[in-house]
């Protein structure tokens, strides 16, 4: 990877102008927090600024769970970044706060070519009038249940593709006396919990809004989902659990794990997996050696069913700040055009092969993308990789009602009230019906605080 990026920088240096005018200083916030990924992004920024004689870019890393509040505080102090890379839900929520501008983002989508994008990626950021986009889709991932297929076969259990099979397997494999667990559920009050809950709720037909913009969160289907969620949580390790619980899975102590495709490189490469093979994060885990057979023994169930099929994923994109000067806007668009140029785009995606999937269909099918430096795609096979990427066409969320975005649901997401609801039901003894009703009232308050068109205008 470093050789590829070095080649990019050297190539840019050959094209660079020796003259340098007074530079526009851009600030770029990203929710990437891992040092190796930030190093790659810094390399790309360096390559871009070598080409430019009038732009500098300052990179700032912000934890996803803190982003919404920090952005609102920065905007209040007139210190918001020019560009932000984050989850689509956060971008929509920040637009509703007046911090981001959908106009230049829409211009970038059209310039790149609307027909090049996976439809599901565009839908996650589409404005309610279907005439623009809150941000520019950049990459995505697909969530599902990763499970020990070898254990399931030995036990004669069906893959965990519906509520009944998930619960049966969680019960069967739960053996806390021997530090083995059936499943991990997000219970730490974070985005991971909300993502898991959303997929289960949608598989039960539960929704946040109806097509008329009314809040319908307080429904029997939602209560049933929360009860099921809390029930499944009993078959995991004690205490609040986040994505970090993948350590149990990587160390052979867990049968099922809700996770995104970001786990693909952990399963395939010892150097990537090592962070999850220590005893540093959980007292009952002593650490383990990398299991080279794990990548063959693990399968993914991307679709969950109860009353309907549900697939879940996320789109990350770029949001452009409101109120930029003409010169700043021009610099931001040039930087984005650089990042979407195939060599630079693929260099970014290869930071986490499998986890970062392209939203541009022509890039997804290209040899450049499918030949990652670590050989991860080769281990899984091109057909499986393409099948996973195609999941970006049909990802579901509370934000989408009949294929249209309801921005208020993104503000709900940004305020973490669904993950708080889960914590109340799992740890505080609050009955599911009461927890759902309380959350529905909070959603109503959020809707009332937003403009009518943003809160949930009825579909035409």
Say what the pLDDT of residue 247 is.
98
Helix (H) or strand (E) run with residue 226 in it: helix 220-233
Q: Is the separation of the CB atoms in 248 and 263 below 8 Å?
A: no
pLDDT at residue 211 greater than cutoff 90: no
> What pLDDT, on a 0 to 100 scale, did the predictor assign at position 371?
93
Q: Write the CB contacts of 168 (distance below 8 Å, at least 6 apart in sequence).
A: 157, 158
- Quote the CA–CA distance of 185 and 197 in Å, as a whole number: 9
Mean pLDDT of the 254-274 span: 94
**How many CA atoms within 13 Å lie on the side-chain side of 106?**
14
Query: The tokens 């609102």 sit on which residue?
Result: 72
Distance CA 306, CA 273 (A): 33
Q: Which of 207-216, 275-284, 389-398, 447-456 has the lowest mean pLDDT?
A: 447-456
Number of residues that make up the chain: 460
Give me the residues paired with residue 145 across strands.
Answer: 258, 301
Q: Which is it for strands 136-148 and 298-301: parallel, antiparallel or unpaired?
A: antiparallel
200 — pLDDT class (breaks 50, 70, 90): very high
Predicted pLDDT at 350: 95
**Residue 99 predicted with pLDDT over 90:** yes
Q: Is the pLDDT of residue 13 over 70?
A: no
Name the DSSP class of 20.
-
* Contact call for residues 314 and 260 (beta carbons, < 8 A): yes
Q: Which two tokens stand for residue 183?
A: 């499943």
Domains of the chain: 2-141+313-393 (3.40.190.10), 144-312 (3.40.190.10)
The whole-chain average pLDDT of the chain stands at: 91
- Residue 460: the pLDDT is 40
Which residue from 409, 408, 414, 398 is spatially nearest to 454, judged by alpha carbons?
Answer: 408
SS3 372: coil
For residues 374 and 330, the answer to whether their CB atoms sit within 8 Å is: no
Residue 393: per-residue pLDDT: 81
pLDDT exceeds 80 at position 452: no
What is the structure's pLDDT at 177? Answer: 95
Q: Choose between 291 and 128: higher pLDDT.
A: 291
- Per-residue pLDDT, 379: 85
Cα torsion for 29, 33, 34, 35, to the nearest 10°?
60
- Mean pLDDT for 142-156 is 96
What is the crossing angle of helices 432-449 and 417-427, to 10°?
160
Residue pair 291/267 in contact (Cβ under 8 Å)? The answer is no
Is the confidence at residue 241, as pLDDT, over 90?
A: yes
Burial degree of 36 (CB within 10 A; 0-12, 13-18, 19+)? exposed
Instruction: Give Cα separations from 436 to 170, 270, 359, 431, 456 (angstroms).
Output: 24, 42, 34, 9, 20
Intra-chain end-to-end CA distance of the chain, in Å = 48
Does the structure show a pLDDT above 50 at 261?
yes
Q: In Å, what is the CA distance from 104 to each residue of 7, 19, 86, 111, 319?
A: 31, 29, 17, 10, 9
* pTM of the complete model: 0.82
Give the number of other CB atoms < 10 A from CB of residue 236: 23
Count how many Cα atoms sit within 13 Å of the Cα of residue 346 in the half-sphere of its side chain. Answer: 18
Distances (CA, A) of 247 to 251, 259, 288, 312, 325: 6, 12, 10, 22, 47
Residue 42 pLDDT > 90, yes or no?
yes
Q: How far is CA 138 from CA 109, 212, 249, 292, 450, in A?
A: 10, 30, 29, 32, 27
Does 197 score more than 90 pLDDT? Answer: yes
Could you tell me the two tokens for 153?
């076969």
pLDDT(299) > 50: yes
Q: Can you tell me the distance from the alpha carbon of 23 to that of 326, in angstroms, rounded to the nearest whole number?
A: 14
Q: 134 with 91: CB under 8 angstroms?
A: yes
Return the pLDDT at 457.
47
Which residues make Cβ contacts (< 8 Å) with residue 70, sequence separation at least 6?
62
DSSP 8-state class, residue 274? G
pLDDT band at 454 (very low <50, low <70, confident <90, very high): very low
% of the chain residues with pLDDT over 90? 75
* SS3 sequence of 423-452: HHHHHCCCCHHHHHHHHHHHHHHHHHHCCH
Confidence grade of residue 449 (pLDDT, cut at 50, 70, 90): confident
pLDDT at 453: 42
At residue 455, the pLDDT reads 44
Segment 422-436 shows an average pLDDT of 96
The percentage of the chain sitting over the pLDDT mark of 70, rounded to a whole number, equals 93
pLDDT the model gives residue 4: 62
State the pLDDT at residue 413: 87
């Amino acid at each position: 990877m470093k050789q590829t990026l070095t080649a990019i920088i050297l190539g840019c240096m050959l094209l660079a102008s020796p003259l340098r005018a007074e530079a526009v200083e851009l600030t770029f916030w990203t929710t990437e927090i891992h040092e190796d990924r930030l190093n790659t992004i810094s390399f790309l920024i360096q390559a871009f600024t070598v080409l430019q004689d009038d732009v500098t870019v300052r990179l700032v890393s912000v934890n996803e769970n803190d982003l919404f509040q920090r952005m609102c505080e920065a905007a209040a102090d007139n210190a918001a970044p020019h560009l932000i890379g984050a989850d689509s839900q956060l971008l929509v929520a920040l637009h509703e706060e007046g911090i981001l501008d959908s106009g230049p983002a829409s211009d970038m989508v059209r310039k790149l070519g609307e027909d090049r994008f996976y439809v599901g990626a565009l839908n996650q950021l589409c404005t309610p009038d279907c005439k623009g986009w809150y941000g520019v889709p950049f990459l995505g991932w697909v969530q599902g249940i990763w499970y020990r297929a070898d254990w399931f076969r030995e036990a004669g259990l069906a893959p965990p593709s519906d509520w009944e099979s998930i619960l049966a397997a969680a019960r069967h494999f739960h053996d806390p006396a021997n530090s083995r667990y059936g499943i991990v559920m997000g219970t730490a009050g974070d985005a991971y919990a909300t993502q898991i809950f959303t997929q289960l709720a949608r598989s039960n037909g539960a929704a946040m809004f109806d097509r008329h913009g009314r809040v319908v969160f307080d429904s029997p289907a939602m209560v049933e989902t929360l009860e099921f969620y809390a029930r499944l949580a009993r078959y995991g390790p004690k205490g609040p659990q986040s994505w970090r619980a993948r350590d149990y899975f990587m160390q052979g102590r867990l049968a099922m794990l809700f996770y995104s495709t970001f786990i693909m490189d952990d399963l395939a490469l010892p150097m990537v997996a090592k962070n999850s093979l220590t005893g540093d994060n959980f007292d009952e885990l002593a650490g383990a050696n990398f299991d080279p057979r794990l990548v063959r023994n693990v399968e993914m169930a991307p679709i969950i069913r109860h009353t309907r099929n549900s697939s879940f994923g996320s789109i990350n994109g770029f949001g452009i700040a409101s109120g930029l000067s003409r010169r700043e806007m021009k610099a931001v668009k040039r930087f984005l055009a650089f990042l979407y140029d195939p060599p630079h785009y693929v260099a970014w995606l290869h930071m986490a092969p499998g986890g970062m999937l392209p939203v541009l269909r022509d890039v997804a099918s290209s040899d450049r993308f499918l030949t990652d430096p670590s050989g991860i795609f080769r281990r899984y096979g091109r057909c499986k990789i393409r099948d996973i990427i195609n999941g970006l066409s049909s990802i579901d969320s509370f934000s989408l009602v009949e294929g249209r975005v309801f921005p208020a649901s993104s503000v709900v997401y940004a305020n973490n009230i669904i993950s708080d609801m889960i914590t109340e039901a799992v740890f505080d003894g609050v009955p599911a019906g009461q927890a759902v009703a309380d959350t529905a009232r909070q959603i109503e308050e959020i809707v009332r605080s937003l403009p009518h068109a943003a809160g949930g205008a009825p579909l035409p």
